[in-house]
């Protein structure tokens, strides 16, 4: 017999028989939808495996107790949110038991006391509650921010020895577990269909499947998206079905489809993002690569595809929100309208973005991303526009950013914004730590690489910073924020006194339509140091047309967080040489 140590989660619907008696078809449909739309993606996200469905329950295996507890907390929270609108007598609720134990493996199934104890712990749990064995508790304590109550030793049916049981009495704010209370139905939903192997060689099927699974897994790291599990989408493998029908059956707004063709030492991968309701393509791209290291290539292609898809969905959601009448806007709509304003990078739009983000989390106080981007809009107002960097404003930004992380500490964007807030507060070590956490949670998030590069630049690690700017551009070459990738890199070259490179990258940033005055200011500083007088004069005129009150004093006040004052003075001296007023 094959044995292994596993974290086992058993979940069961409370009062299932009564629910079925009251509304058999409705209960079954709602439970099926809940599994497909929320539970299976959630389990995938926490690296779990559904061993089997057991009528109204599930048996799930994890390699880590922390992952199992994280999943359980998010499970109970998410189900509670989804069922808020249901009649009290028909709400779906779960009991969950978690154990760490030895299991017997038989094909895809698992057996033994490890499973039996988890099942008995589920019976001890309250409706909507979670109980852990002593072994599981020892692994989870201190690693999730939750309060545990020791229920003492319990005699469990068909278990020879008493088991000490712990009950979770409160999920803490920074548990790293619960999703923001934004219900799954309120987020854009997306299904990744199995990529088609068009090589004419059935032995290459594994490569196409590998690309598909990697795209699903990596997309799931974006907390703003609800990604359908592979179990649902792989049911369509090899079937010629209209995309609109698939979207309707899976109840998703977007579908990704693609193909893989391998020939000799070359591979061509095509991917498309499709509007599920209309069948129209939103985005399409083709990638041609040399096939050297197959796994490295698979990672590169996956990262590239995913980094393109998330901004495209965000932009599409923003356009959709603009078309809705004001009285029908919800938290998600206000959030995307805020993002659309933020990316215009003007003072008025920044103020409007702050108002919209605030409105979003007023409607839904648990919407982590709205708090996080409210914080980011505040600091952009201080750095790019006319908000003076006062301590009260810095504290407000920190409070909002910390709130975002507290609500969803697995959200890479929340850690990104907290890192950016720490940077403008001059807390360089904390900034780097948060941005590194963001990248660990989502290596495909181009903004986090850019932010880490910027933090390194201000902290004096200039060569390290440039590699992160390069990675940001590689991941998202068409990002609405890409002027920042170029502009921050130009500043790093300025600090290194590499003025030709600084002028080149600042020029690229300045040519992007939504770039703010700083991109043009970096170009002015670089040209000033290069003594290219005519170009510098033209750049100064261009800068003052965009921001008439720009001056050396303005730059000094708004670059208040530069750690090395010599770097700041070098920058200001470039502006001075170009002819900007004091």
Per residue in 351-366, pLDDT (tens digit) is: 999 999 998 888 888 8
Give the C-alpha separation, 475 to 446, whole Å: 6
Which residues, listed in sequence order, are joined to residue 106 by a DSSP beta bridge? 109
575 near 551, Cβ under 8 Å?
Answer: no
Confidence of residue 308 (pLDDT cuts 50, 70, 90): low
Q: What is the pTM of this model?
A: 0.56
Helices (H), 148-224: 205-219
Confidence of residue 527 (pLDDT cuts 50, 70, 90): very high
Query: Which whole number is the average pLDDT over 518-522?
Result: 89
DSSP string across 184-197: GGGS-EEEEPPPEE
Query: Which whole number is the average pLDDT over 381-399?
Result: 83
Give the C-alpha separation, 220 to 108, whole Å: 24
192 near 215, Cβ under 8 Å?
Answer: yes
Which pLDDT score is estimated for 45? 85
Which residues, listed in sequence order, are joined to residue 268 by a DSSP beta bridge? 261, 288
CA distance between the termini of the chain? 80
* Nearest to 258, CA basis, from 269, 246, 274: 269
3-state helix, strand, coil in the chain (%, to 5): 55, 15, 25
Cα dist. 534→217, 526, 549, 573 in Å? 52, 13, 21, 17
Cα dist. 316→47, 469, 491 in Å? 30, 26, 32
Beta-strand pair 94-106/2-13 = antiparallel
Query: Which whole number is the average pLDDT over 504-531?
Result: 89
Token code pair at residue 580: 């900007």
Cα dist. 334→222, 301, 412, 551 in Å? 19, 33, 21, 35
**Quick check: 523 pLDDT over 90?**
yes
Per residue in 477-489, pLDDT (tens digit) is: 767 678 889 999 9
Residue 55 burial (CB count, 10 A): 10
Confidence of residue 146 (pLDDT cuts 50, 70, 90): confident
Confidence of residue 292 (pLDDT cuts 50, 70, 90): low
DSSP string across 433-446: HHHHHHHHH-TT-H
**Quick check: 294 pLDDT over 80?**
no
* Nearest to 42, CA basis, from 248, 187, 198: 187
Residue 563, φ and ψ in degrees, nearest 5: -75, -45
Give the C-alpha separation, 412 to 438, whole Å: 4
What is the average pLDDT value for the chain, to the nearest integer? Answer: 82
Cα 143 versus chain centre, distance? 21
Which pLDDT score is estimated for 8? 95
Confidence of residue 328 (pLDDT cuts 50, 70, 90): very low
Per residue in 399-450, pLDDT (tens digit) is: 999 998 888 787 888 899 999 999 988 898 999 999 999 888 888 788 889 9
Percent with pLDDT over 90 in the chain: 25
Which pLDDT score is estimated for 224? 64
Per residue in 159-200, pLDDT (tens digit) is: 778 888 999 976 543 333 333 333 333 457 788 888 888 887
Q: Which residues, 6+ apart, have CB-to-CB distance to 136 below 8 Å?
A: 7, 65, 68, 69, 98, 99, 100, 166
Most confident of 117-121, 145-149, 189-193, 287-291: 117-121
Give 28's Cβ-side CA count (13 Å radius): 5
Give the C-alpha separation, 463 to 470, whole Å: 11
Give the C-alpha separation, 123 to 17, whole Å: 15
Query: Which whole number is the average pLDDT over 240-262?
Result: 82
Instruction: List domains and CATH numbers for the chain.
Output: 2-171 (3.30.70.1230), 184-322 (3.40.50.10610), 331-443 (1.25.40.10), 479-582 (1.25.40.10)
In this structure, of 172-176, 451-455, 547-551, the range with the lowest mean pLDDT score is 172-176
* Nearest to 411, CA basis, from 433, 376, 437, 432: 437
């Amino acid at each position: 017999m094959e044995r292994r140590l596993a974290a086992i989660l058993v979940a069961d619907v409370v009062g299932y028989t009564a629910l079925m008696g009251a509304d058999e078809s409705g209960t079954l449909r709602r439970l099926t939808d809940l599994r497909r739309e929320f539970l299976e993606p959630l389990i995938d996200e926490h690296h779990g495996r559904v061993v089997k469905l057991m009528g109204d329950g599930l048996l799930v295996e994890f390699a880590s107790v922390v992952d199992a507890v994280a999943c359980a907390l998010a499970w109970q929270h998410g189900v509670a949110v989804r069922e808020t609108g249901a009649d009290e007598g028909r709400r779906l609720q779960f009991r969950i038991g978690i154990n760490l134990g030895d299991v017997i493996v038989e094909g895809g199934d698992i057996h033994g006391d490890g499973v039996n104890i988890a099942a008995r712990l589920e019976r001890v749990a309250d409706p909507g509650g979670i109980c852990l064995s002593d072994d599981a508790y020892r692994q989870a304590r201190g690693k999730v921010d939750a309060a545990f109550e020791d229920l003492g030793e319990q005699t469990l049916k068909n278990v020879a020895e008493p088991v000490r049981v712990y009950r979770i009495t409160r999920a803490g704010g920074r548990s790293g577990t619960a999703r923001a209370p934004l219900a799954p139905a309120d987020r854009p939903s997306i299904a990744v269909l199995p990529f088609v192997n068009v090589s004419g060689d059935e032995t290459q099927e594994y490569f196409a499947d590998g690309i598909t699974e990697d795209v699903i897994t990596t997309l799931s790291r974006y907390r703003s998206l609800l990604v359908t599990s592979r179990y649902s989408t792989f049911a369509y493998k090899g079937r010629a079905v209209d995309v609109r029908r698939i979207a309707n059956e899976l109840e998703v707004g977007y579908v990704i489809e693609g193909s893989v063709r391998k020939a000799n030492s070359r591979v061509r991968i095509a991917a498309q993002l499709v509007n599920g309701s209309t069948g129209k393509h939103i985005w399409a791209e083709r990638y041609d690569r040399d096939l050297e290291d197959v796994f490295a290539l698979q990672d590169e292609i996956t990262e590239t595809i995913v980094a393109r898809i998330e901004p495209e969905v965000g932009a599409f959601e923003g356009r959709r929100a603009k078309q809705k009448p004001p009285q029908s806007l919800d938290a998600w709509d206000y959030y995307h309208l805020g993002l659309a304003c933020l990316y215009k990078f003007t003072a008025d739009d920044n103020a409007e973005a702050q108002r919209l983000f605030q409105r979003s989390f007023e409607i839904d106080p648990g919407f982590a991303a709205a708090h996080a981007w409210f914080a980011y809009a505040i600091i952009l107002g201080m750095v790019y526009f006319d908000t003076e960097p006062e301590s009260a404003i810095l504290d407000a930004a920190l409070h909002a950013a910390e709130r975002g992380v507290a609500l969803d500490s697995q959200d890479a964007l929340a850690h990104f914004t907290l890192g950016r807030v720490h940077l403008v507060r001059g807390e360089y070590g904390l900034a780097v730590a948060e941005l590194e956490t963001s990248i660990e949670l989502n290596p495909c998030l181009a903004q986090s690489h850019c932010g880490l590069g910027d933090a390194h630049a201000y902290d004096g690690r200039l060569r390290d910073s440039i590699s992160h700017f390069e990675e940001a551009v590689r991941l998202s070459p068409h990002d609405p924020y890409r002027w920042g990738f170029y502009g921050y890199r130009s500043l790093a070259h300025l600090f290194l006194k590499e003025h030709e490179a600084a002028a080149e990258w600042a020029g690229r940033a300045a040519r992007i339509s939504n770039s703010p005055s700083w991109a043009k200011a970096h170009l002015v500083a670089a040209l000033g140091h290069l003594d290219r007088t005519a170009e510098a004069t033209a750049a100064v005129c261009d800068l003052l047309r965009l921001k008439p009150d720009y001056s050396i004093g303005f730059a000094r006040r708004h670059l208040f967080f530069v750690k090395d004052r010599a770097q700041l003075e070098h920058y200001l001296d470039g502006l001075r040489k170009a002819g900007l007023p004091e």
